[in-house]
Amino acid sequence: MLAVTSPDRKTGTMANSYLEWTDENGQIRRLEIIDKVFIGRGCLGIEEPKRLIIEDPAVSRDHAIISMIGSRLQITDMSRNGIWINDVRMAPGSSQDLKDGDIVGVGNSNIRVGCPEVVLFDEEIESTRVGPIEMIVTSLVADVRGFSGMLQREDSSQVYAVMKGIFETFTTIVRDQKGTIKDYVGDAVYAFWDHGLEPRQEQALLACNAALRQLRAIDQMRSSELSGIHMAGEGLLMGWGITTGKVTMAHYSARVADLALVGDCTNLAFRLSGMANKSLSSPVAICCQTANLVRNALLLSDLGFVTVRGRTGQEHVFGIK
């Protein structure tokens, strides 16, 4: 596993941009970027000075390319499991400019980008704007019950402490399950797993396992960390909604943070999270498409056809036992 290292300001600068990481033996390594560097598990046919090999099953054989384009340094995603820049997921198949100090997450590895003596960005450009991309995703929304009442009853500092603990714990679980945190929306956490162009059981199963781990984590927090300390969290209830379907991924603006996933299944995940552990008996409610993908791996309960607020018709919904 590669680990990020802090830059040493006392060692001077290098003539070229570089990648810096800690190898499996704990040694700090650097690889200069002359024109291109290929990152992956194989990188067949690429000469040694231009490749960074990461022995990790989560890393694709040809995972990414980092290129010098004029005075800019740019990374292109070619992977199945994605790339993170400073903990923000790149849009699949897209390219993005890098700057000095950026942390590139590949599989379970972190690589620091060093760009001495190179001007990488025009000030007005924060990232490469991503055009609309259609893809299949599994969405996971975890929703806190009674958040408005909690804010009304409890001190804001207590509510903040509870929500901070939830968000940090849930974020770690999502990343462990190879997902992407998209948003923290008030009292909800929204994450997704991209399938590409065809639904894949693996991605839906990772999302379901993330929800189950979050459920167990909340039970543990309620009985230990929150008991007698944060009154706001002692009676905490949550619901999870999981859906699978087609979305359009794009940036509404040039900022990385403005990446949007627009689709009916995204809206349904939020709706189901509001019904789970409330009008639905199961704390984790999943749509029919997700159920079809995971039913051979998980024990499901049929919750029947339900009416979902704001939607026409009824949805066939399942719970996870």
Structure tokens at 302: 């049929």
Q: 132-147: b or e for each residue (b if 16 or more CB lie within 10 Å)? A: eeebbbbbbbbbbbeb
The whole-angstrom distance between residue 316's C-alpha and the CA centroid of its chain comes to 27
For residue 202, pLDDT over 70 is answered with yes
Residue found by looking up tokens 């292109």 in the block: 76
CA distances for 141 relative to 39, 230, 238, angstroms: 32, 24, 10
Query: At 260, which amino acid appears?
Result: A
Neighbours of 222 (CB within 10 A): 17
Return the minimum-mean-pLDDT range out of 19-33, 60-74, 79-93, 137-151.
137-151
What one-character DSSP code corresponds to residue 169?
Answer: H
Return the minimum-mean-pLDDT range out of 125-129, 144-148, 308-312.
125-129
- Antiparallel, parallel or unpaired: β 72-77 and 133-144: unpaired
Q: Tell me the average pLDDT across 42-68.
A: 88
Q: Where are the alpha helices (DSSP H) in the chain?
A: 147-153, 156-176, 201-223, 231-234, 264-275, 288-294
Q: What is the pLDDT of residue 125?
A: 36
Domains along the chain with CATH numbers: 9-114 (2.60.200.20), 133-320 (3.30.70.1230)
The percent of residues in the chain predicted with pLDDT above 90, rounded, is 38
Are 112 and 20 within 8 A, CB to CB? yes
Confidence of residue 185 (pLDDT cuts 50, 70, 90): confident
Q: What is the pLDDT of residue 195?
A: 87
pLDDT digits (tens, 9 = 90+) for 71-117: 678 999 988 888 999 988 888 888 888 988 999 999 989 999 998 65
For residue 173, which of 321, 225, 165 has the smallest C-alpha distance?
165
Q: What is the pLDDT of residue 131?
A: 59
Q: What is the pLDDT of residue 151?
A: 62
* CA trace torsion 34, 39, 42, 43 (10° rounding): -40
Q: What is the pLDDT of residue 149?
A: 62
Structure tokens at 61: 């054989």
Q: What is the pLDDT of residue 104?
A: 94
Structure tokens at 104: 């590139």
Tell me the pLDDT of the chain averaged across its residues. 81
